Amino acid sequence: MNVEEIKGRLADRSATVAVIGQGYVGLSVALAAAKAGLRVIGIDTNRSLIEGLADGRLVVAGVREDAFAEGIATGRMTFTTQPDGIGAADIVLLCVPTPVRDHNPDLSAVEEAGLTVGEYLSPGALVILESTTYPGTTEQVLCPQIEKGGLAAGVDFLLAYSAERIDPGNTAFTFADIPRVVGGIDPASSAVAQAFYALLVDVVHPVSSCRAAEMAKLLENTYRMVNIALVNELAMVCSDQGISPWEVIDAAATKPFGFERFLPGPGVGGHCIPIDPTYLTWQSRRDTGRPYRLVELANDINAEMPGYVVSRVAEILNEESRAVKGSKILALGVTYKPDVGDLRESAAVQVIRRLVRQDAQVTFHDPFIDEVEVDGVILHGSELTDELIADADLVAVLTPHSAFDLDHVVEVAGTVFDARNAIGAAPGVVVL
């Protein structure tokens, strides 16, 4: 392989990048590569998704509209369901789902993508896995699949790992602002991967191996998950003692060192925090037989939160001589985080599911979501009218999108339960 040749094509922007998977991860990096001056081929098996992108429509939740407009405007992007474009690529990125099923990692999408890459890959190309996964996946799972196509890693093609670090809905950081951690199977792979990402982001941080890069991503999200569990349990303890957890967190956050502010809520959701730590605990038990006790405990605490929210709702209704059964409950926000149209692992949906199972009459409003599936039944979103708000026995603020006029909701509603402290202490409002 001529490493300098591919680095030269990156330097003069004549390189081609193929991105397998056009969800918010794959599309975001594809847009960044096009903006950097590279030719980009976006590949996905979802035909309707590809058709929408090819028509210039942003049909992927979590991708910044300005980034999409800039990337499309370059004219350097094409979208297809056909994988043969891989053969023309100098860089091939794998941005495919890595979910957890029955508490075990499901790497079937990585394996299938690896086989496809191996079938079309040209000698000398660099393959980079961006999907979050456990240490060893790049070398032990992806590499053998690619090599079934006849090329050998480190001899005929380069291989590296660099996890995405996008925070959907966060407008404070652009794609370029977020440093990239890169690890390759050998120095050549790492060097070319660094050269590629240096065109896309301001800072590239190399590590010694794919495994180190894979572990770094798990640490990032496990750190968040454990600290969220800490404040979630704090919220329960404070409630029992008649103390506001929000006041306590605000007070602790005045310390200028040694404390980072995390906030409680109805649970954790999304594609990362509820999922990634499971890879860590699963691998530890598989490879060493040792439980990762802190992570497992934190996961259990966070999993309790939807039930805890429902118990708080029941307490509030009980104070008004009402039962959950038969009560009209309006849920505001069902996505996993504010201002993002993503339902994956949404704690708000789990809260709604538990309320429905207790025979509450639940309606919801979310500007991003039209319908939610609950135990096989489709709940359709409702228009947020004053009549809907006033008719509810309780309004539960579960995901406070910025589009909500919560002050007006408080004026019209009888009782409001604020699971995110989006409103704060006010007459008629009970805060988690």
Residue 103 lies in a domain: yes
Residue 231 lies in a domain: no
Q: Are residues 186 and 254 in the same domain?
A: no
Domain boundary among 175, 208, 241: 208
Helices 245-252, 210-241: axis angle to 10 degrees equals 130
Q: Are residues 68 and 124 in the same domain?
A: yes
Q: Are residues 153 and 11 in the same domain?
A: yes
Measure the N-to-C terminal CA separation of the chain; round to a whole number of Å: 59
Say what the pLDDT of residue 202 is. Answer: 97
Q: Are residues 158 and 267 in the same domain?
A: no
* Alpha-carbon torsion angle 265, 269, 270, 273, nearest 10: 90
CA angle 219, 164, 77 (to 5 degrees): 175
Catalytic positions = 272
Say what the pLDDT of residue 104 is. Answer: 84
Q: Are residues 199 and 259 in the same domain?
A: no
- CATH number of the domain where residue 182 is located: 3.40.50.720
pTM recorded for the entire structure: 0.91
Local structure of 336: helix, strand or coil = coil
Range scoring the smallest mean pLDDT among 149-158, 163-172, 291-300, 377-386: 163-172
* Alpha-carbon torsion angle 418, 423, 426, 429, nearest 10: -20
**How many Å apart are CA 139 and CA 136, to the nearest integer?**
6
Local structure of 355: helix, strand or coil = helix
**How many Å apart are CA 89 and CA 104, to the nearest integer?**
33
Structural domain boundaries enclosing 388: 250-431
Determine what percent of the chain is predicted with pLDDT higher than 70. Answer: 100
Tens of pLDDT, residue by residue over 181-229, are 999 999 999 999 999 999 999 999 999 999 999 999 999 999 999 999 9
Residue 99 lies in a domain: yes
Give 364's strand partners: 331
Q: Are residues 203 and 259 in the same domain?
A: no
Residue 106 lies in a domain: yes
Say what the pLDDT of residue 368 is. Answer: 94
Residue 49 lies in a domain: yes
The confidence band for 349, taking pLDDT boundaries of 50, 70 and 90, is: very high
Q: Are residues 295 and 383 in the same domain?
A: yes
Range scoring the smallest mean pLDDT among 270-279, 280-289, 394-403, 417-426: 270-279
Q: Are residues 265 and 407 in the same domain?
A: yes
| Domain count for the chain | 2
Q: Are residues 415 and 317 in the same domain?
A: yes
- What ranges make up the beta strands (E) of 50-145? 77-80, 91-94, 100-101, 104-105, 126-129
Statement: residue 1 has pLDDT above 70: no
Residue 218 lies in a domain: no
Residue 236 lies in a domain: no
Q: Are strands 104-105 and 77-80 parallel, antiparallel or unpaired?
A: unpaired
Q: Are residues 44 and 151 in the same domain?
A: yes
| CB 207 within 8 Å of CB 135 | no
Candidates 152, 155, 142, 180; CA nearest to 28 is: 180
